Every structure is written in structure tokens, then in C-alpha cells.
Amino acid sequence: MRVTYDRHTDTLSIILRDTPVSESDEDKPGVILDYDAEGNIVSIEILDASASVQQPMTMVYEFAS
């Protein structure tokens, strides 16, 4: 999994799989879900991220036990 924030476009991307995107769907305004050819979600993009995410350039990674 990879998380990137592009300050220039104010886009937060969460890449779950390094697989080609076959289809994209804007599930809610500003939230784009990308799917592979089998219909599995491969990434999530949040547009205008600074308005939706408290600190788009900060990430805390936790393991649940």
C-alpha cells in the first residue's frame, strides 16, 4: 500500500494494489474509487484533500492486534 499527497493538485491517493486501473467511479463528490478488470478496488483518490483531511501531509500507520 502506498499513500501520496500531491500539494500542487491537492489530491490524496491511497494505492492498495499496483495493478492497472480498468474503471473509475466518483462514489461521492471528490472521492474517486479505481477498480481493476476483475472489479477489485485498487486505489482511492480524494480531490481537494486539504478541505477533507485534517493534515494531508501527515500519516500515522498503526497495526491492529
Q: What is the pLDDT of residues 6-23, one digit of tens each?
A: 999 999 999 999 999 999
Distance CA(27)–CA(43), nearest Å, equals: 12
Which of the 8 DSSP states describes residue 29?
T
Distance CA(41)–CA(16), nearest Å, equals: 8
Domain count, the chain: 1
- Domain annotation covers residue 15: yes
User: Please, which pLDDT band fits residue 61 given cuts at 50, 70 and 90?
Assistant: confident
- Domain annotation covers residue 31: yes
- Domain annotation covers residue 23: yes
- Domain annotation covers residue 35: yes
- Domain annotation covers residue 65: no
- Domain annotation covers residue 63: no
Which of the 8 DSSP states describes residue 12?
E
Neighbouring residues of 22: CB distance < 8 A, sequence distance ≥ 6: 35, 36, 37
Domain of 15 in residue numbering reads as 2-52
- Domain annotation covers residue 6: yes
- Domain annotation covers residue 61: no
